[in-house]
Amino acid sequence: MSELKIIGKPIPRHDAWEKAFGLTCYAADFTLPGMLYGKVLRSNHPSARILSVNTSRAERLKGVKAVLTAKDVPRNESVTRFGQTHAVGGGFEGLYRVLADRKVHFMGEAVALVAAETEEIAKRALELIQVEYEPLPGVFDPIEAMKPDAPLVQEGRSNIITHYEVVKGDVEKGFSEADVVVENTYRVPFVDHAYLEPESGMAWIDEDGVITIRVSTQVIEHFRGIADVLNLPHNRVRVIGTYVGGGFGGKEDITVEAFLALLTYKTGRPVKLTYTREESILSHSKRHPYVMIYKTGAKKDGRLTALQAKLVSDAGAYVYLSPWVLLYSMVNAAGPYRIPHVKVDGYTVLTNNTFTSANRGFGAPQVCFAYESQMDELARRTGLEPEKIRMMNYLEKGEALATGQVLERHVALKETTEKVIEALEERTSPSGQMRIGRGIASGMTSYGRMVFLHDTSRSHVSIEMDGSVTIRAGIQDIGGGQASSLCQITAEILGVPIEDIKIYIADTALTPFAGTTTATRQLYMSGNATLMAAREVRKILVHKAAGMLGIDPESLDLVDREVIDKEGTGKGLPLKEVVRACASDGLPLYHVALFKAPFRNVAQFERIEGQVFPDFTFGTHGAEVAVDEETGRIQVLKLISSFDVGRAINRLSVEGQIEGGAIYGMGYSLTEEVILNQGITMTPSFSEYLLPTSMDVPDVETILIESGDGVGPFGAKGVGEPSVCSVAPAISNAVYDAIGVRIYDLPLTPEKIVRALQSKVKAEGYL
C-alpha cells in the first residue's frame, strides 16, 4: 500500500456534526405514538426479606397499564453469560435476576415495574405499591464477608465467588535475595461511571411481533439474554443501539432492556424507560473497590527480586463481571516489570453493597495504583530516581509476564517514560503553603477480550452503483469514534473521501454481529474485520479495472473516486464506472469479513498461566501537583500522558481518548467515590459524587508513540481504557514528592492529606 491518505489524520468524526447541531437522537429522545412510561420500584434496604408485595392499589390507579413483580417474569433467574456466545466455566457465569424475589440483596435492587400513560402516573403508582420488608443482617466489607460466620449474601452459595492465583518462581527465595522490601496495604473505592446520559431505552413490538428495543448500550448482543428472560426464541428479540451518551463500562451489563421487554410484552404498547441520575447512581454497577496487600523486594541496585500480592475485590450483591475483572487484575498485578519471583492471590467476594462490574480499565487501574506506589517507595528506599528504577525493570519485547504470556510485540515503556520526563519540564516554583511535587507511573492494559472467549467480529462493506460506500457493522458507538474509525479505514482502502461513506451500526437484525463495545476491542476487532472486508471489495474492483484497462492489477490504485495507474501513464477509470461494470458481470460488490482474535483454551482457572490477552497497550503518566500543606487541597498543575498507540487511525480521536482518560483517572485520584454506609448510598447525585470541572483540570499533554506494532488495523493498538490506568499512582507519587507522605487509599481527599501530614510530624517528633 502506498502512502496513507486518510489514516492518521486529525479528521472530524462523521457523527460530530449531527451532535453539534443537536440532531442526534439519543435513547431518551425517541417517542412513539401510544407510548407508555416505565418506572422501577427499588429496594430501600440493603438486605431484607420480602414478606409481601401488594400491587393492587397501584393497579387500580387510572392510567396504569402494568405492574409487574418477580412472579410475572417468565424466566426471572438465569445463569448469564453476559453477552458471551458460550459458557466458559471457572466461575465466569453468574446469576442474573431480573426482579428481586423473596429477598433483596442491595439497596436499589429492582423489585417491581410499572408502565403507565404518563410519567407522573407511573411515579404515583410506585408510591402505591406496598412492600413489606423484614430487615436481615447484611455484610458490607469483603474481608468480613470472607469469614466463615458471615451472613450469606446469596442463598446457597459461598460469598467467595472465586479465587485465582498467579505463581512464578518462589517468592520466599525472591524476598531472601532482596536488600529492600516494602510492604503496604492499598485501598481503592467504589466509583461511578458518571456518563452524562443516564440509562434509557424504548421498546415496542414490531409489525411481525418482534420485541424491538432501542437502547443506550455497549452490548446489543444482550438480545439473547433478554429473549431468555421472556422465554422467546432469540430471533424474536431485536436490539437497536443508539449513539451512547457515554458508557465507560457502565452500559456493558443489561440496564433497562429486560424491564422494557417485559413491560412492552405484557402491555403490547411501546414503553419508554429513562433513569433519573439518582436512580442511575443507586442501581447500576460500580468500579470494584479493592483491598490490596503488596510486598515488593529489590536489590540495592534497584533490580526487582520478588512481588507478592493479595487482592480482595468487593463484588457487591451479584456476580456480574467480577471474576473477569479480577482475572484482569491478576494478569496486571505485577505490572510491566521483570520480576523473577511472583505470587498473587485474588479473591472476589459478595457483599450487600451495590454490585460492581466493568469500569474503564477493568481491574487494571486498581492494581496499577498499588504496584506503582510500591515502585515509587522502592525508588526512595534504594535512592534511585523513580524513572531509573522503572527503566531498569521494564519488560521488553520477547520477555514474559508472571503468567508466562510472552510479549510478542514492542514494549515502548522506555520511550513513554523518557517523553513524560522531558515534557514535565521545569518544576513550578512553590509559593506560600503550596508544595510542588511530581510523579510518574507506568502501566499496561490489555485491549481485546481474553483469548479463551474466542472473540470474533464481522463487518459488511459494499459499494453502490454511484460509487458511494456502505458499511454495516453491529458495533455500538459510545462516543469514542468507534463508527467513524471504520469509515476512515474503508475510505483509505477504497480511495474515496470519507463523506462518501455511510455506516449502519448497532442493529441485531440488520448489521453483522461485531461484539461488544468493551475491552477496548472495537478498533482492534471491527477495525480488522472492516479492513478485511474493504480489501476484498477493493480486490474485485481492481481486478475488474485491470481487465478494462489492460493493465496489471498490481500497478493500479484507488484514489479520489478513481482507479488510476500508479505508474503515472494517465490511464484510469472513474470508480463508479468500474462498479457498474462489475455489476453487469454479476460480481459481488460487497464482502462480509469475519475477524477472529487468537484463541486459546484455558484448562483451568485456579492458577492463571499462559496467554490470556491478545496484546497490551503500554504507557506512562506524569503529574505535577501543588499541595496545600495546611488544607490538604491538591491542584494538578501538569498531567502528561504518553502512550504507544501503535498507529493513530484518527489523531483527534486518539488524543480525545487520552485526554479524557487522564481526567477520568484524575477524578479517581482526587474526588470521586461512591460512599456506601452499611450498604446505603451517601452520594446519590452529582452534588455529592464529584466529577472534575473545567476549573479543576490541567490541559492534558498527549505524546503519542507510533510503533506500528499493534494487532489492530495498520498496526494500531487500543487506548480507550489504557488511558486511565496509571493516572492515580502518578498523582499520588507526585503528592509524596511534594510533602513526603504517601496515601494508601484513594481518593486523595484533603482530609486524608492533612491527617497523613500530622502523623508524619508526630512520627518525626518521636525520632
Q: Closest CB to other proteins among 37 and 320?
A: 37
The torsion angles phi and psi of 188, rounded to 5 degrees, stand at -130, 150
- Binding span for other proteins by CB under 8 A among 91-99, 270-278, 375-383, 406-414: 270-278
The amino acid at 14: H
Question: Most distant CA pair in the chain: distance in Å?
Answer: 91
Q: What is the DSSP string of 246-313?
A: --TTTTSS-SSHHHHHHHHHHHSS-EEEE--HHHHHHHS-BBPPEEEEEEEEE-TTS-EEEEEEEEEE
Cell of 67: 405492574
The least CB distance from residue 619 to other proteins, in Å, is 15
Binding test (CB under 8 A) with other proteins, winner from 82, 248, 618, 643: 248
For the segment 117-156, give every residue that binds other proteins (CB under 8 A): 121, 124
Instruction: State the Cα–Cα distance between residues 339 and 325, nearest whole angstrom.
Output: 23
User: Within positions 661 to 700, which residues make up the interface with other proteins, using CB under 8 A?
Assistant: 661-664, 671, 675, 682-683, 685-688, 690-697, 699-700
> What cell was used for 231?
422465554
Q: Which of 82, 92, 106, 195 binds other proteins (CB under 8 A)?
A: 195
Which residue has cell 411515579? 123
Q: 402-441 mask for other proteins (x: CB under 8 A)?
A: ----------------------------------------
Q: What is the smallest separation between the CB atom of 158 and other proteins, expressed in angstroms? A: 33
Total residues in contact with other proteins, by rule CB under 8 A = 73
Spell out, one character per residue from 363 to 382, where the chain touches other proteins: x when CB under 8 A holds, - when not: --------------------
- What DSSP line would sit under 197-263, residue for residue? S--EEEEEE-TTS-EEEEE--S-GGGHHHHHHHTT--GGGEEEEEPPPS--TTTTSS-SSHHHHHHH
Instruction: Map the footprint of other proteins across residues 743-762, applying CB under 8 A.
Output: 749-751, 754
Reported as half-sphere exposure (CB side, CA atoms, 13 A), residue 650 has a value of 23
Per CB under 8 A, the segment of 107-115, 336-344, 479-487, 497-505 that binds other proteins is 479-487
d(CA 593, CA 532): 6
With CB under 8 A as the contact rule, the residue among 109, 221, 500, 659 that binds other proteins is 659
φ, ψ of residue 51 to 5 degrees: the values are -80, -40
Q: Print the binding letters for residues 203-242 with other proteins: x by CB under 8 A, - otherwise.
A: ----------------------------------------
Pairing of strands 271-274, 36-42: parallel
The answer for 616, left when phi > 0, alpha when psi is -120 to 50, beta otherwise, is beta
Assess contact for 643 and 705: CB atoms under 8 A.
yes
Question: How many angstroms from the chain centroid is the CA of residue 478?
Answer: 11
Residue 312 lies near other proteins (rule: CB under 8 A): no
Nearest approach in angstroms of CB 277 to other proteins is 4
Least Å distance, CB 599 to other proteins, is 32
Segment contacting other proteins by CB under 8 A, of 325-333, 409-417, 618-626, 655-663: 655-663
List 478, 589, 626, 705, residue binding other proteins (CB under 8 A) = 478
Closer residue to other proteins, CB minimum distance, 573 or 654: 654
Q: Rule CB under 8 A: choose which of 96, 243, 616, 618 binds other proteins.
A: 243
Taking the least distance from each CB to other proteins, the nearer of 678 and 685 is 685
Please report how close the Cβ of residue 110 comes to other proteins at its closest, in angstroms. 20
Looking only at residues 9 through 48 of this chain, which bind other proteins when binding is defined by CB under 8 A? 10, 12-13, 15-17, 19-26, 28-29
DSSP sequence for 668-701: HHHT----EETTEES--STTTS----TTT----E
Distance from C-alpha of 262 to C-alpha of 203, rounded to nearest angstrom: 9
By beta-carbon proximity to other proteins, the closer residue of 500 and 565 is 500
What is the C-alpha to C-alpha distance for residues 110 and 321, in angstroms, rounded to an integer? 19
Among 33, 62, 137, 584, indicate the residue that binds other proteins (CB under 8 A): 62
